[in-house]
Chains A and B, each alone.
Chain A
Amino acid sequence: MSSLLARFAENAFWMARYVERVENLARILDVNETFARDAHGVQEWRPILRLHSDEEVFFEHYKVADAKSVVRFYTIDRRNPNCIVNAIHGARENARSLRHLISLETWTQINTFWNWAADLRAHDLSLNNLSRLCSQIKEGCELHTGIARNTMYRDQVWLFYQLGELIERCDQTTRLVDIKYHALTPLTESAGSPVDVGQWNALLRSVAGYHGYRRIFPRQMTPATVSRFILFDPHFPRSMTFCVGDIRELIHDLLNQEELAQAKFPMFAVNALEKMRYPKHSDIEPAKMHAFLDDVQVKLMDLTKDIDTVFFQSETRAA
């Protein structure tokens, strides 16, 4: 294996993060359209804005948070830096910088994906087409991930790529549960009602966890079981417990590289996250859930900052 330019490590990390972000966003939009209805059968779109802390930016451009506006805002509205088209562009631009280090197949797919996304127009977003559109986006992301996994050379680029993917996934999962937990727990009073089950259903589906959950909890669907599954099931690939386990291994793999033998990586954030993988019951009682998830997010940010400083050499490069 050979040395890797710090900038390329950053490109690999962000290419993966953007693709992961796109996939999550597509899932959330899709599921919301299908399953998220309140007690009166009305779709709630505002929680999606809350989830991404986008309410302020959104209302600068739109009057009401209805399906049409929110979908547009998160798909093709280039004024929103986090919209799907911008994120695909971000992935593609990182891939473009990295092009000589990734497989031709990986590049070609993401480039074609971007060419397709750049052509999306308002009329492609009609609600009766939304589910199909979201599927296409998800498939684009999954195709990317599959091609990358099957073709990329196993070197530092690959390790940083996975690191970006997992940190983003862990971030998305914890954020999603955090928001939904708040929004949904009051409904536990009417637990068992069809609407309630629909909400938890939606949450599970938005993380592609429904089938796994059903195998582990075939007869239950409560806030506690669903959130525990999504956050802590060690075999569910989007759970925080799963992601953090892999993140820790990746950091170790990186530090075992000959070229990184001199790197001084502070293990504080990784160790803290490791401890949170299997929390005590008292740490995640409903009242403490938010604080717990907030702490996970803070540690993920710390970890990202450490990666930035040590591996991406942000200080040397800024000098």
Chain B
Amino acid sequence: MAKLLSSYDAGEFFCELTGRGGRQATHAAKIRTRLNRMSSIGLRRRAAAAERELHSLGITFTVYSERDAIDRVLPFDVVPRVLSPADWQHIEDGCKQRVQAINLFLHDIYHDKKILKDKVVPRDLVTRNANYRKEMEGVDLPHGTYVSIAGIDIVRGGNGRFQVLEDNARTPSGVSYVIENRHLMLRAFPDLADGIGIRPVSDYGMRLREVLSEIAPEGIDDPQVVLLSPGVFNSAYFEHVFLAREMGVPLVEGRDLVVQDDRVHMITTGGLMPVDVIYRRVDDNFLDPEVFNPGSLLGVPGLMRVYKKGRIALANAIGTGVADDKAIYAYMPRIIKYYLDQDQILDNVETYLCREKDGLAYTLDNLDKLVSKPVGESGGYGVVIGPRATRAELAEARKAIERRPRNYIAQPMIELSVCPTLIGNALEPRHVDLRPFIITGKQSWVLPGGLTRVALRKGSLVVNSSQGGGTKDTWVLE
């Protein structure tokens, strides 16, 4: 019987499991050997069992059409992505540095605005940003922590070098899959994981709860923490349930909370009970209809008043979206240097700002070679990958960029690294990225590993779940 990996060919790409030409990734040698002992049919059978389990456990996201609500399982690939201790140390240090800089940046722009006065970051990029919240000016937060939960999207180019593609400083999602994928993997493949020494991920909930206690309003020893969800119709509802359970805190909706006597309360069977910390998975705009979107039913009227008085803590803080903006991203190396006087540990991807004359000219001249992205979107929407786009798509992108240049950035196309992925009964290379999760109270902690997303379509570089992406378990070796 042919060995599973014998016909696997990653081509010119960097492979997370085999390195290049099968020689470089020595850290994964043991896992390769074990995979090679398995049959493709056996692998397929175990993958099918894993998928059934996801359905039964209801680890699903809901897709709504006009008539139906369909529960979909986020496709799970059974071949793990394996990171060496040295690579992980590099990522961990880089992520902590970035989050530290982002928190200092947010404190500054909502207080003295030194970085704008020193003209390191253009003023209008910040103050005219749709996610800049004037209401936050002068509001002091415990430990200056604005971003308690961050997810940083990292890709690995052809040379094996890690680069940050995007920061997520609002309500990054996906951490539940990291932990559930591990449980699933250990059940389905105990033989693959046995004695390897994989850094655990199961204490995330406890640590998050600890972080949330650290940011509680002053003078509160044993804070009541809650998780605020938009409700069962939200596509990430499973994750909200998961995190509430892991942290042992109530999963509330806006309608369960009321503001009374300058405090937020939850409506319990025994009456109103004060709440001290809210891990909210509701966007800024919907949090308080008195201040933001007046039509919002997801929020709590009066929340902002209590927040400004320092009597409730929110994670993440209001107004963090300005830091994960795709245009601000281009300035991150300079932001890190400005506050920390350090060089960036994790590189940025070279970014052309269409708001700048040179950037726009270069982008339009090289549209067929670049990846262009609208700055305000998420989920991979509006992204045009030049080398893979049709002429009509390029023409359309050009028109859109010319119409509103401020709205666009462009980056060189990165050949994302690949990982062996079970397609049919064979292992084939598919592109992956990585989203580590960083949680910060008094200080930062990085969940070892993070979410590996995989583009299941052959050749595709778009890993988003809304566009045919799946996930893998991510193993950080001891």
Query: Interface residues, chain A, CB within 8 Å of chain B?
Result: 3-9, 93, 96-97, 99-101, 104, 107-108, 111-112, 115, 156, 160, 254, 257, 259-263, 311-313, 316-317, 319
Contact = CB atoms under 8 A, between A and B. Distances in A.
29 contacts: A3-B268, A3-B269, A3-B270, A4-B268, A5-B250, A5-B256, A6-B256, A6-B267, A8-B250, A96-B237, A99-B58, A100-B242, A100-B244, A107-B58, A108-B56, A108-B57, A111-B57, A112-B56, A254-B269, A259-B269, A261-B270, A311-B269, A313-B267, A313-B268, A313-B269, A313-B271, A316-B267, A316-B272, A317-B256
Nearest to A258: B270
Nearest 8 A/B pairs, CB to CB: A100-B245, A100-B244, A259-B270, A3-B268, A99-B241, A111-B58, A311-B269, A260-B270
A255 to B, nearest CB: 10
B226 to A, nearest CB: 9
Q: Chain B binding site: helix, strand, loop or mixed by DSSP?
A: mixed
Nearest to A92: B58
B251 interface: yes
A7 B226 CA distance: 14
Interface string B236-260: 0100011011000011110110100
A319 B251 CA distance: 21
A104 B253 contact: no
A259 B245 contact: no
Contacts of A96: 58, 232, 237, 241
Contacts of B252: 5
Contact of B270 (A7, A111, A262): A262
B256 A7 contact: yes
Contact of A93 (B57, B232, B242, B253): B232
A6 B244 contact: no
A7 B267 contact: yes
Nearest to B266: A5
- Find the residue from B55, B242, B252, B269 having the highest chain A CB count within 10 A: B269
B256 to A, nearest CB: 5
B255 A7 contact: yes
A4 B224 CA distance: 12
B268 A5 contact: yes
Contact of B253 (A7, A160, A254, A263): A7
- Find the residue from A6, A101, A257, A260 having the highest chain B CB count within 10 A: A6
Contacts of A311: 269
B273 interface: yes
- Find the residue from A9, A100, A104, A115 having the highest chain B CB count within 10 A: A100
Interface in B278-331: none
Contacts of A111: 56-58
Contact of A4 (B55, B258, B269): B269
